[in-house]
Amino acid sequence: MSDKLIIFDTTLRDGEQSPGASMTKDEKLRIARQLERMKVDVIEAGFAASSNGDFDCVQAIANAIKESTVCSLARANDRDISRAAAALAGAQRSRIHTFIATSPLHMEKKLRMTPEEVLEQARQSVRFARNLCADIEFSAEDGYRSELDFLARVVEAVINEGATTINIPDTVGYAIPELYGNFIKTLREKVPNSDKAIWSVHCHNDLGMAVANSLSGVKLGGARQVECTINGLGERAGNCSLEEIVMAVRTRRDYFDLDVGIDTTQIVPASRMVSQTTGFVVQPNKAVVGANAFAHASGIHQDGVLKARDTYEIMRAEDVGWSANKIVLGKLSGRNAFKQRLQDLGIEMESETEINTAFAKFKELADRKAEIFDEDILALVSDESVTAEKEQYGLVSLAQHSETGERPHASVVFTVDGREMHGQSDGNGPVDASLKAIESHVKSGAELVLYSVNAITSGSTESQGEVTVRLQHGGRVVNGVGADPDIVVASAKAYLSALNKLHSKADRVAAQG
Ligand code: KIV
Ligand code: ZN
């Protein structure tokens, strides 16, 4: 019988630490539900002790998720661990994930603690956590750059205190596949009680080897849990990418001989949801989830695929959630067909009112766009005006005029707490004029640090434009996303969505100590 490989997703914790990727509670809940639909084993929902906002997110996810284990990060101290336990109290299955750095560099320069003090703190923390929760993960931060004999003593001590999972991160992405795999193997051999815990890998992507290192930790090192994020989201160059790990182990089952419990058809919807929520666009040639991952442009390849698909394809696009029939609905489609398509795409709407709002938006879009693709539907349902209860800012209408040789002008009608405002401005281009028209009333003082436009579906100028706007103000960085066939309208929607986030109450501090 094959072993199971546990998939631990940390998109909502380590992924969110990426500058500009912070998410609201509603957004995190939506992503957590998608991770559950995908049958992820463990969802790291946040770092409860880092802020009241993060505590609320972990608590809301713990209360909503029934199938996956919900986990909170905690530094190795009683306060953090108590906060994690309190936030997880409503979960069906919960895990406390506590960590302390064990490398000479981190102990001396960051923690200013001796190795013996670190060992004692790790031991005490796991003992304390074990009284609050049966499922305890211990991470040795910067584990890969730690001294092997010392690390083995720490790991032996925390397993004796009841840690059920031992995670050895390559925190700074320094490892090389063969070396990392052997490091985990040697460490397991040195720890006398190593068989009492599940071993886990957690690799960052600074040298582009996070997936390769994790797979080596599994194959050579015998790890049976991989920590990863959707689209490889994460600090600096990101984390190990979930879709690549899962599809590597699934596609090369002959080599890994491991089972993964993931419903792979939910991978593309999850990828899309994370990129739309955070504004982190997926590069077209990204493995598994990039727009070109299954596109064959060369004549020789196209000919081969038509004759026998496996000549050039090692995975089937539909197995990872790219639908075979991409044109799904049009102007004449009814509410039932729309509702069915939402279900097929794994989108759960909370109420009939939400379905009605989404359907009205769909009809509006179908009047302007002949073919509605799955991607259009996904963009439509992630539009805040469909899913959110009450937003502060909303777009009513926009008119703009631009002509060669003239300075463009825009007038925008939008609501602020239900009250209509009319803003006017000119600008360098129609987008600039529209955003200035909004700013003329809002006066947010925010700095625009990113503006990007992408076609939601490729290959046609009929496509909807998806705009991401990133605003920075008073130490906060937020993303707003808007979609519309008219990119100026999409830009105004994205700007208002970013303002909604900027003015939301959520307070958050950096999630890692
Ligand atoms: O990269 C890292 O070391 C971490 C730990 C907190 C698990 O994210
Ligand atoms: Zn990390």
Query: Rounded distance, CA 188 to CA 194, Å?
Result: 6
Is residue 156 lining ligand 1, measured as CB closer than 6 Å? Answer: no
What's the CA gap between 185 and 199, in Å, rounded?
10
Residue 364 and residue 462 in one domain: no
Given 386, 412, 429, the domain boundary residue is 386
Separation of 229 CA from ligand 1 center, angstroms?
Answer: 13
Q: What is the pLDDT of residue 385?
A: 56
Tell which wins on pLDDT, 306 or 406: 406
Which residue CA neighbors atom 1 of ligand 1 most closely?
171
| Rounded average pLDDT over 151-174 | 98
Which ligand lies nearest to the CA atom of residue 44 in the structure? 1
Over range 436-440, report the average pLDDT.
96
* The pLDDT value given to residue 306: 76
Q: Which of 243, 278, 313 is the last residue of a domain?
A: 278
Question: 355 to each of 163, 338, 348, 377, 392, how far by Cα in Å?
Answer: 45, 9, 9, 12, 22
As a whole number of angstroms, the distance between CA 193 and CA 187 comes to 11
Q: Side chain identity at 432, as an amino acid letter? A: D
Residue 286 resides in a domain: no
Residue whose entry in the numeric block shows the structure tokens 């068989």: 195
The DSSP H or E segment spanning 476 is: strand 476-484
Identify which ligand lies nearest to the alpha carbon of 73.
1
* Residue 15 pLDDT: 96
Beta strand 476-484 pairing with 6-9: unpaired
**Is 14 within a domain?**
yes
Q: If you measure from the C-alpha of residue 203 to the centroid of ligand 2, how many angstroms do you get, rounded to a whole number?
A: 7
Residues 219 and 361 in one domain: no
Q: Could you tell me the distance, in angstroms and rounded to a whole number, from the CA of residue 144 to the centre of ligand 2?
A: 12
For a ligand 1 pocket test, name from 202, 225, 226, 228 the mutation site with the most ligand atoms within 8 angstroms of its C-beta.
202
Cβ–Cβ under 8 Å, residues 122 and 139:
no
Q: How many domains does the chain have?
A: 4
Ligand located closest to 235 CA:
2
Distance in angstroms (rounded) separating the CA atoms of residues 177 and 174? 10
CA atoms 269, 241, 36, 65: torsion sign? negative
Specify whether 164 is located in the same domain as 305: no
Q: Could you tell me if 192 and 245 lie in one domain?
A: yes
Let me know if residue 283 belongs to a domain.
no
Hey, what are 361's tokens?
A: 């938006």
Q: For position 312, what pLDDT does the model report?
A: 78
Provide the pairing of β-strand 258-259 with 3-4: parallel
* Ligand 1 pocket, residue 99 CB under 6 Å: yes
Helical segments of 299-445, H only = 299-307, 335-344, 352-368, 374-381, 384-387, 430-442
What ligand 1 atom has the least distance to the C-alpha of 17? 8
CA distance 340 to 346: 10
pLDDT at 382 over 80: no
Q: Calculate how far, in angstroms, residue 9's C-alpha sits from the geometric centre of ligand 2.
A: 11
Tokens 């064959």 found at? 296
- The answer to whether the beta carbons of residues 77 and 49 sit under 8 Å apart is no
Atom 7 of ligand 1, residue of closest alpha carbon: 139
139 Cβ below 6 A of ligand 1: yes
Q: Is 202 annotated as a binding residue?
A: yes
334 and 315 within one domain:
no
Residues 6+ apart with CB under 8 A from 185: 220, 221, 222
- 216, 245, 278: which is the final residue of a domain? 278
With a 6 A CB cut-off, is 225 part of the ligand 1 pocket?
no
- Neighbour tally for 416: CB within 10 Å: 16
pLDDT at residue 295, rounded to an integer: 75
**441 labeled part of a ligand binding site:** no
Q: Is there a single domain that holds both residue 259 and residue 317?
A: no
Task: Answer yes or no: do 350 and 414 share one domain.
Answer: no
| d(CA 380, ligand 1 centre) in Å | 35
What mean pLDDT, rounded, does the chain reach? Answer: 90
Q: Is residue 287 part of a domain?
A: no
Q: Which residue has the higher pLDDT, 185 or 2?
A: 185
Is residue 157 a part of any domain in this protein? yes
CA end-to-end span of the chain: 40
Residue 271 lies in a domain: yes
Distance CA(159)–CA(354), nearest Å, equals 48
pLDDT at 487: 94
Higher pLDDT, 356 or 65: 65
Q: Report whether 437 contacts 424 (CB < 8 A).
A: yes
Ligand 1 contact, 169 CB (< 6 A):
yes
Q: Taking the model in full, what pTM does it have?
A: 0.85
- Centroid of ligand 1 to alpha carbon of 280 (angstroms): 21
Confidence of residue 296 (pLDDT cuts 50, 70, 90): low
Ligand 1 mean position, distance from CA 244 (Å) = 20
The pLDDT assigned to 507 comes to: 43
Q: How many CA atoms lie within 13 A of 353 on its CB side?
A: 4
CA dist 22 and 507 (Å) reads 11
User: Rounded mean pLDDT of 49-68?
Assistant: 97
Q: Is 98 in the pocket of ligand 1 (CB under 6 A)?
A: no
| Residue 44 near residue 13, CB atoms below 8 Å | yes
Q: What is the largest CA-CA distance in the chain?
A: 77
Query: What is the DSSP secondary-structure string of 110-141?
Result: II---HHHHHHHHHHHHHHHHTT-S-EEEEEE
H or E stretch covering 489: helix 487-502
Same-domain pairing of 269 and 305: no
Quick check: 497 pLDDT over 70? yes
CATH number of domain containing 411: 3.30.160.270
Cβ neighbours, 10 Å, residue 184: 25
Best of 11, 12, 14, 166 for a ligand 1 pocket test (most atoms within 8 Å of beta carbon): 14
Closest protein CA for atom 8 of ligand 1: 14
Give the structural domain span for 301: 294-321
pLDDT of 121 strictly over 60? yes
Counting from 1 in the atom list of ligand 1, the atom nearest the Cα of 172 is 1
pLDDT at 201 over 80: yes
Q: Is 309 found in the same domain as 245?
A: no
- CA of residue 85 relative to chain centroid, distance: 23
Convert 256-282 to b/e letters by CB count within 10 Å (16 or more is b): bebebebebbbbbbbbbbbbbbbbbeb
Residues 380 and 417 in one domain: no
- Residue with CA nearest ligand 1 atom 2: 171
Q: Which ligand approaches the C-alpha of residue 139 most closely?
A: 1
CA-proximal residue: ligand 1, atom 5 (nearest) = 141
Instruction: Determine the distance separating the centroid of ligand 1 and the alpha carbon of 340, expressed in angstroms.
Output: 40
C-alpha span between 380 and 354 (Å, rounded): 12
For position 464, what pLDDT does the model report? Answer: 84
Residues 263 and 126 occupy one common structural domain: yes
Q: Which residue has the higher pLDDT, 384 or 220?
A: 220
Percent of the chain at pLDDT > 70 equals: 93
The total of other beta-carbon atoms located within 10 Å of residue 429's CB is 14
Q: Which atom of ligand 1 has the smallest separation from the CA of 142?
A: 3
243 vs 38, 248, 260, 270, 287, CA distance in Å?
11, 8, 12, 10, 8
Q: Is 75 in the pocket of ligand 1 (CB under 6 A)?
A: no
Give yes or no for residue 60 having a pLDDT over 70. Answer: yes
pLDDT at 414 over 90: yes
Among 77-86, 214-223, 287-296, 336-345, the minimum mean pLDDT is found in: 336-345
Domain presence at residue 356: yes
3 state SS of 399: strand
- Look at residue 303 and tell me if it is in a domain: yes
Cβ–ligand 1 distance for 171 under 6 Å, the answer: yes
pLDDT in tens, 126-148: 999 999 999 999 999 999 999 99
Reported confidence tier of residue 104, pLDDT bands at 50, 70, 90: very high
Q: Are 364 and 455 part of one and the same domain?
A: no
Per the annotation, does 231 bind a ligand? no
What pLDDT score was predicted for residue 217? 98
41 is in an annotated binding site: no
* Residue 324 pLDDT class (50, 70, 90 cuts): low
CA of 329 to the centre of ligand 1 (A): 44
146 lines ligand 1 (CB under 6 A): no
CA of 480 to the centre of ligand 1 (A): 28
